[in-house]
Amino acid sequence: MSARIIDGKAFAASLRERVAAIVPAFEAAAGRKPGLTVVIVGEDPASQVYVRSKGKATEAAGMVSTTHRLPETTTQDALIALVRDLNADPAVDGILVQLPLPKHIDEQAVIATIDPDKDVDGFHVVNAGRLAVGQEGFVPCTPLGCIMLLEDRLGDLSGLNAVVVGRSNIVGKPMAQLLLAKSCTVTIAHSRTKDLQDVCGRADILVAAVGRPAMIKGDWIKPGATVIDVGINRIDNGEGGTKLAGDVDFAEAIEVAGAITPVPGGVGPMTIAVLLRNTLVSAYRRAGVPYEK
């Protein structure tokens, strides 16, 4: 058997097109475009690349993209003052502070300053709480993208055994909450989990969000399971360069799983597409006009 490949790149492209198609209707109703503001502190090259692609995607969707590039030496107080200004700016629907921040800045203190109703990354503790109790808020983009791919592939998820490997605040925990909200029976595994192979082997849905290349082997996977590989790891390509690899041993898993996301081209492209979707949702909520799906 060979698994069906879940084409996250194509799904993300179609989500971005759907968002772009709705933006003119928002503009007609609200008299302005949705706006996403990204704040980046310092020169981390990977963060610079992410921020540039977020800006381009925002503009391509017909929204207003603003980027604040602050020097590495920016103080926590100055960053918090900027976030407060953005909270008060009616043209800003979404605020995203690119992580990681320089070591002298307390990330949680900065995230806590963002207005939860503009927190399109869904990292604010209020949005984590809203997700936990089932209230409307913002859900972190990567796990929300995973749920979209799962529902597209499987339809109703209720009653399925889901195993999430990884318990970070930005991927593992919100992923588990989302699966629970879809009535899956959820297990969260992590570095202290005993018999991880056995735990994974019971999963109808296996989500890997660890950051260890090819850690999950083919014989860990229940035949026919749907595998979502969130991991993005840069590894040696054997020719003196590097390439991206997931947390799942793709060559082995594809022989066992029912469906699997590749790396690259699976979960990765979903993150920015969901960010645009969250920004549009924020704009509708803040303008008080009903959101057209």
- For the annotated binding site, the residues are 166-168, 232
| Least distance CB 232 / ligand NDP (angstroms) | 4
DSSP string of 182-225? TT-EEEEE-TT-SSHHHHHHT-SEEEE-S--TT-B-GGGSPTT-
CA distance 275 to 145: 9
Name which of residues 232 to 251 contact ligand NDP (CB under 6 A).
232-233
| Residue 67, CA distances (Å) to 39, 50, 224 in order | 6, 12, 44
Name which of residues 205 to 224 contact ligand NDP (CB under 6 A).
209-212
Interface region with ligand NDP, contact rule CB under 6 A, candidates 65-73, 84-92, 231-239, 282-290: 231-239
Interface region with ligand NDP, contact rule CB under 6 A, candidates 11-19, 68-76, 156-164, 167-175: 167-175
Interface region with ligand NDP, contact rule CB under 6 A, candidates 9-17, 18-26, 122-130, 263-271: 263-271
Three-state SS for 242?
Answer: strand
- 121 catalytic residue (yes or no): yes
Angle, CA 44 vertex, CA 42 and CA 50 arms, to 5°? 105
Q: Decide if 157 contacts 184 (C-beta within 8 A).
A: yes
Burial of 88 (0-12, 13-18, 19+ CB in 10 A): exposed
Instruction: Kindly tell me which of 215 and 289 has the beta carbon lying closer to ligand NDP.
Output: 215
Instruction: Kindly tell me which of 86 and 216 has the beta carbon lying closer to ligand NDP.
Output: 216
Binding test (CB under 6 A) with ligand NDP, winner from 271, 278, 279, 282: 271
Helix or strand run (H / E) with residue 164: strand 161-165
Residue 123, both tokens? 């990292």
Q: Which residue in 145, 51, 30, 15 sits closest to 93, CA to CA?
A: 30
CA distance 90 to 114: 14
- 156 catalytic residue (yes or no): no
- 173 catalytic residue (yes or no): no
Binding test (CB under 6 A) with ligand NDP, winner from 79, 114, 139, 267: 267
Interface region with ligand NDP, contact rule CB under 6 A, candidates 69-77, 154-162, 169-177, 198-206: 169-177
When asked if residue 165 is in the footprint of ligand NDP (CB under 6 A), the reply is yes
Nearest residue relative to ligand NDP (C-beta): 168
When asked if residue 172 is in the footprint of ligand NDP (CB under 6 A), the reply is yes
Binding site for ligand NDP (CB under 6 A): 142, 165-168, 170-172, 189-193, 196, 209-212, 230-233, 267-268, 271
Q: So which residues are the catalytic ones? A: 54, 98, 121
